[in-house]
Amino acid sequence: MAKYEGGCRCSAVRYETDAEPMMMLQCQCQECQRATGSGHGNWVIFPTAAVRIAGKPARFNRPTDSGNAFAQEFCKDCGSPLFGRLAAQPDGVGVLAGSLDDPSIFRPQVVVYTDRGHPWDKIDTAVQSFARMPPPRG
């Protein structure tokens, strides 16, 4: 079992987990673009109960296209975006891959909201993609 660790630029917020990722995805929605300052967000989803957080991230709540509540969490000191929490899926917490101490573990399994993507933001065409968010599996 691997240990995953990460945090913000100033180290005021750190996190760790021994759990394996539930999913890794790229999201090209406009909110992820704004939150990351790029063409998409690279998310690693871990089981919420297995993630330990030191420090207190600030939170910005916003609705998603589907009307679900989404909480974007970031460091209040340095502004680094860190976590995403979807109210409809409380068992998983998204960690932005760039906040991991070793972001090389990121391997996207799916790309969502490609209808919001930009030609200059190249994604791997071999990765399964959806114009919007697909329905949950299971």
Over residues 64-84, mean pLDDT: 90
Q: What is the DSSP string of 40-54?
A: -EEEEEEEGGG-EEE
Whole-prediction pTM = 0.92
Cβ(86)–Cβ(65) under 8 Å? no
Which residue in 25, 14, 3, 2 sits closest to 97, CA to CA?
25
Which residue in 15, 29, 41, 39 sits closest to 96, CA to CA?
41
- Write down the domain spans for the chain: 4-129
Pairing relationship of beta strands 81-86 and 92-96 according to DSSP bridges? antiparallel
What is the per-residue pLDDT across 105-128, written as a single tens digit (0 to 9) for each?
A: 999 999 999 999 999 999 999 999
Distances from the Cα of 83 to the Cα of 58, 87, 88, angstroms? 10, 13, 15
Candidate from 5-19, 62-76, 80-94, 108-122 with smallest mean pLDDT? 62-76
| Beta-bridge partner residues of 14 | 7, 54
**Angle CA 52–112–3, to nearest 5:** 25
What is the per-residue pLDDT across 16-54, written as a single tens digit (0 to 9) for each?
A: 999 999 999 999 998 899 889 999 999 999 999 999 999
- Domain 4-129: which topology? 2.170.150
